[in-house]
Amino acid sequence: MADAFTPARKRQLARSARAAIGLAKSQAYQDAAYAPATLRAYATDLANYKAWCDRRSFVAMPGTPEVVGADLAAAGEGYAMPTLRQLLLRPRVAN
């Protein structure tokens, strides 16, 4: 019995399978990114950012580059780089 799939069709099916696996992995990463502890951390960071903006009469949302930069500069004293990267997410997650 002859093979029903041409080499081109086999390659297409293989690409489709790889794409499906890639999408499934991507969804798993997205699901993990929004674990309950992560969501709590984002909510706390966002509340702190909004409070910081309120104390200085800045508009918190949308987070403009100038306001976010000023926030990071103020927070930068005493924080490690990974913490500053997380703080940078505060307005981005909310926007």
**pLDDT tens column, 48-72:** 889 999 999 999 888 888 988 888 8
- Give pLDDT, residue 87: 75
**Alpha carbon distance 87, 85 (integer Å):** 5
User: Is residue 51 domain-shared with residue 82, that is, in the same domain?
Assistant: yes
- Give pLDDT, residue 23: 80
* Domain with 66 in it: 36-94
Read off the amino acid at residue 77: E
User: Is residue 14 domain-shared with residue 40, that is, in the same domain?
Assistant: no
Q: What is the pLDDT of residues 14-59, one digit of tens each?
A: 777 787 888 888 888 777 767 788 788 888 888 988 999 999 999 9
User: Is residue 6 domain-shared with residue 52, that is, in the same domain?
Assistant: no
User: Is residue 44 domain-shared with residue 55, that is, in the same domain?
Assistant: yes
The count of structural domains within the chain is 2
Nearest to 49 by CA among 59, 40, 39: 59
**Alpha carbon distance 36, 15 (integer Å):** 34
User: Is residue 85 domain-shared with residue 40, that is, in the same domain?
Assistant: yes
User: Is residue 20 domain-shared with residue 40, that is, in the same domain?
Assistant: no
User: Is residue 47 domain-shared with residue 88, that is, in the same domain?
Assistant: yes
- pLDDT: which is higher, 8 or 46: 46
User: Is residue 58 domain-shared with residue 73, that is, in the same domain?
Assistant: yes
